Chains A and B, each alone.
Chain A
Amino acid sequence: MTTTDTTLTDRPVDNGVNSGALVDAREALSNAPEAAEFTWRASCSWVHGTYSRSTVEGFSGLGQDHLHKSTFTFDADHPECFASEDRGATPVELVLAALGSCLTGGLASVAQHRGIQLRSVTATIEGSMNVLGMLGADPDIRNGFNDITVRFAIDADASDDDIRALVAQSQKRSAVFDIVTNPSNVTVEVV
């Protein structure tokens, strides 16, 4: 146990995060790097038009397969101004939601570890895009977001600098932040 844990027991900070377990997991996985290899999965089925449904059931890690406690589904579609039926969020909005939840969850974990009690956290995420790229109308315009902005409104028992440090650290440790800011190799096959 580190001194940080002692500090935590001294302070009744509870963000609902078991940060002791996370610290232990980090230690354990550092010594067993194979167990740290995870594979995350989703499947996506076309329903009709631009409407599709993605399902998330299980993943692999710690040397075995795991099932989520229940199966989660995510509906995606395009809005009516794109001549679609708007039966779900657009896929790009799901990306924004993923970024927001990754940063927010990470922020809560960092806050717990640093002994900072959160009262409320709201992230507003915006991505700007010129759809001429996606529509294939202008080859000089990219398909994806030009800029993404995340605005955090945070009420917590901490100084402004400590809150800014929380937000910075949550970006540093965020998987989705990394995924959207850095290139990844994507392989798409037909089976």
Chain B
Amino acid sequence: MDTTTVVIGAGHAGLAMSRRLTERSIDHVVLERGEVANSWRTERWDSLRLLTPNWQSRLPGMGYSGDDPDGYMRMPEVIDFIAGYACAIAAPVQTGTTVTRVTRTATGYEVTTDRGIWSCATVVVASGGSNVADVPAVAAGVPTSVTMHTPMTYRSPDQLDQRGVLVVGASATGVQLADEIRRSGRAVTIAVGEHVRLPRLYRGRDIFWWMDAEGIFDERYDEVDDLVRARHLPSPQLIGTSQRRSIDLNGLAAAGIQIVGRLGRISDGVAQFSGSLANLCTLADLKMNRLLTRLDDWATETHLDVERPYRPEPTSVPSRPILDMDLRKRDVGTVIWATGYRPDHSWLDVPVFDHKGRIRHDGGVVRDAPGMYLLGANVLRRRRSSYIHGAEQDTAELGAHLHRYLDSRARSPRPHLARPSVSA
């Protein structure tokens, strides 16, 4: 089968790109291993809501049209939103099609699936940035009496036995799961490494409203101070709830959750935690306050009519957080690895990876593979790229780049060697 562009993945990013390609009359197909919005359907816990407020859920040509712009979508709403989008734009999605291999050919790429082979000039990798839960090697030391979960296998506290729970990681996922499991009555310990603290509301408005309005989300990947750091920043400690409440370590501690340092290792059933907790909390507070100061300055400059500035309470760290915990003696029944995710590009048989197995790219334009594009990665082109609404601009720009590539290729006498000089 031949087409001009194969888009791999029918999530929000792949569909947004499909719409851009349709706008440009570029012949394409969107290949999807499951159904549209597959990972939202199958790889999320029950209570999860988006971190972004509803008004921010928009894709090219479609915004939020419900009656709760300040709320946060639950998963069924996210699935409806994305599936509705696929219908609205009449995306040429072929569901139930798993890509098993992508290789380079003389004229472009060959995409092998479990339902046939596609030849194409260009490929858009939109298979998501969170395909695999990243579990650290120390997991090997967890005693067999303990059940392990990742955020992809965890659904709700009902799944767990009544024993205690160790949640490893304090990004959005870790703090949300610790909070929910504690509310179910279980003893919970959370191991806290580097984290990003943000209040849900600041001066009466959603923190994402501020970041959007002030321009933080617009910061480009080639302008941020430290791109490697920006791309690997843990997701902020936020939760979407109808009360629009904040979630932070102070709140977790007040709820009776034991806060400990980063998990170092587990030997003989004893988990050892880092003594760096106080510093990591100081860093998170300093960074949060620096951000709030920046927002305050902007509010003053623009004469914004909002509540007066204030600062959340500093994180109160126990003076002597425990450094080790015998998982058996302390009756821990479950360890949840909320230690991040990584993409699965194992099917991509084109030499585009760096030494850590990450695709080398400039704002989504894959290096060393003309005509290949990446979508849906953290800070792909700007900070906004990490969230659903980032796909709007990213696909507009990458769609234009792809179009120029096809044009220059058509003009070149040796199309497969064409390297358009257009920058990202």
Contact = CB atoms under 8 A, between A and B. Distances in A.
Interface of A: 2, 4, 30, 33, 147-148, 161, 164-165, 168-169, 171-172, 177-178, 180-183
A180 B264 contact: no
B292 to A, nearest CB: 12
A161 B311 CA distance: 14
A161 B285 CA distance: 11
A171 B279 contact: yes
B388 interface: no
Interface string B281-296: 0110010011000000
A114 to B, nearest CB: 11
Interface in B148-206: 194
Given A181-B261, A182-B276, A183-B264, A4 B286 contact: no
Nearest to B280: A172
Contacts of A171: 276, 279
Nearest to B324: A183
A168 B279 contact: yes
Interface of B: 194, 225, 228, 261-262, 264-265, 267, 272, 274-276, 279-280, 282-283, 286, 289-290, 320, 355
A183 B283 contact: no
B320 A147 contact: yes
Contact of A180 (B228, B275, B279, B290): B275
A178 to B, nearest CB: 8
B232 to A, nearest CB: 13
Given A168-B282, A181-B275, A183-B265, 9 more contacts: A2-B225, A161-B290, A168-B279, A168-B286, A171-B279, A172-B280, A182-B262, A182-B274, A183-B264
Contacts of B194: 172
Contacts, number: 42
A78 to B, nearest CB: 25
A183 B290 CA distance: 32
Contacts of B280: 172
A148 B279 CA distance: 13
A181 B286 contact: no
B283 A168 contact: yes
Nearest to B272: A183
Contacts of A180: 275
Given A182-B262, A183-B265, A33 B355 contact: yes
Contacts of A172: 194, 279-280, 283
A164 B274 contact: no
A4 B226 CA distance: 11
A117 B43 CA distance: 50
20 contacts: A2-B225, A30-B228, A148-B275, A161-B289, A161-B290, A164-B282, A164-B286, A165-B283, A171-B276, A177-B276, A177-B279, A178-B276, A180-B275, A181-B261, A181-B275, A181-B276, A182-B264, A182-B274, A182-B275, A183-B265
Contacts of A178: 276
- 4 smallest beta-carbon distances between A and B, as pairs: A181-B275, A183-B264, A171-B279, A181-B276
